[in-house]
Amino acid sequence: MHKVQIKPEWQPGDYILAPFDGERPPMKAWVKETLHHEPERSSFELDGAEIELLTWGEIGKPGLLLLHGAGAQADWWDIIAPYFANGYRVAAISWSGMGRSSWREAYRFEQWAREALGAIEIAELDRTGPPVVIAHSLGGSGLMTLAAGHPKKIAAGILVDSFVPRLRRGQKPPSSRPLPRYATVEQALSRYRFVPEQGTDYPEIVDHIARHGLRAVAADENGPAGYTWRFDPKVLTSLDIGSIEALPAQIAVPFAFIAGEKSNLSRNTKLADVLEAFPKIEIAFTIPEARHHIMVDQPLALVAALRATLQALEHSG
């Protein structure tokens, strides 16, 4: 008899891609088909920085703008966006300081809101009216800043395992330290992990976003030539989370809130508290078994949740 190889369960501290030794993990058929629908890649200049822009779908359809979280990039949406490209003009950006966008001396949510506005204009997401904006994690702070400061520019907002400021008081800002540097792509991939940590049943999706998140660097004062992540460590130390404390009460457009039921970051699954803190949230629910990084944890459930939420927001308006 042949022994059945049982994949060990992910444990905190494990590196998701380490077992694959730099090789691409086996790809499920539906994942391969979805990623085959590649975006158009471009960039636009805003306030002295180049902002990475990915687009799917035809100009002239209702607009969707996708905003990623801290340490991520536009390609985190590659597995989600194609499911909306038939009915929407979809765009995703990399915030300045992340992905293939330029780094800045300092980062502010107001600047990120301007970058989102730039994407709406350049991608022509507003041909048929203001777009809906969907934001994951820290990207929700950029979305709230946009909605409060420019309410006529968006039709609605959807927070995906983000947080409501009032429920996150007392946090200390993270420290800034140089990014780790690796000699090879394979070594870098083997050390990839999420913050907060979690496992996934889709290592092929993790591999896809990790490869897009790497950049080659020359030898300098921070270390030898090699590979590191497309992320400016100053992002998290520059952004003032306290600056968005009052925003929920200022937002006039409809909002929705989707959380991972097992998320260990947002901790906002007490939906009654969310609704009290954010008056314009009209829809709020959790996705069972989903953790913080829902698009690589429960991607199809997230697609279904977003589809239902978009329909509900449209009818509520």
What are the pLDDT digits (tens) for 264-317?
765 555 677 788 888 889 899 999 999 999 999 999 999 999 999 999 998 775
Instruction: Judge whether residue 170 has pLDDT over 70.
Output: no
Element (H, E) at 217: strand 214-217
The answer as to whether 51 is a domain residue is yes
**Per the structure, how many domains does the chain have?**
1
The answer as to whether 11 is a domain residue is no
The answer as to whether 281 is a domain residue is yes
Q: Other CB atoms closer than 10 Å to residue 9's CB: what's the count?
A: 7
In which band, very low, low, confident or very high, does the pLDDT at 6 lie, cut at 50, 70 and 90? very low
The answer as to whether 240 is a domain residue is yes
The answer as to whether 196 is a domain residue is no
Per-residue pLDDT tens for 10-58?
677 788 999 999 999 999 999 999 999 999 999 999 999 999 999 999 9
Expressed as residue numbers, the domain containing 279 is 36-177+233-316
The answer as to whether 24 is a domain residue is no
Average pLDDT over residues 100-126: 97
CATH number at residue 95: 3.40.50.1820
| Whole-structure pTM value | 0.93
Lowest mean pLDDT, pick from 63-77, 209-223, 271-285: 271-285
The answer as to whether 127 is a domain residue is yes
Residue 19: DSSP 8-state: G
CA end-to-end distance (rounded Å), the chain: 62
> For residues 276 and 164, is the Cβ–Cβ distance under 8 A?
no
User: Residue 84: CB partners within 8 Å, gap ≥ 6?
Assistant: 56, 57, 64, 90, 306, 307
The answer as to whether 7 is a domain residue is no
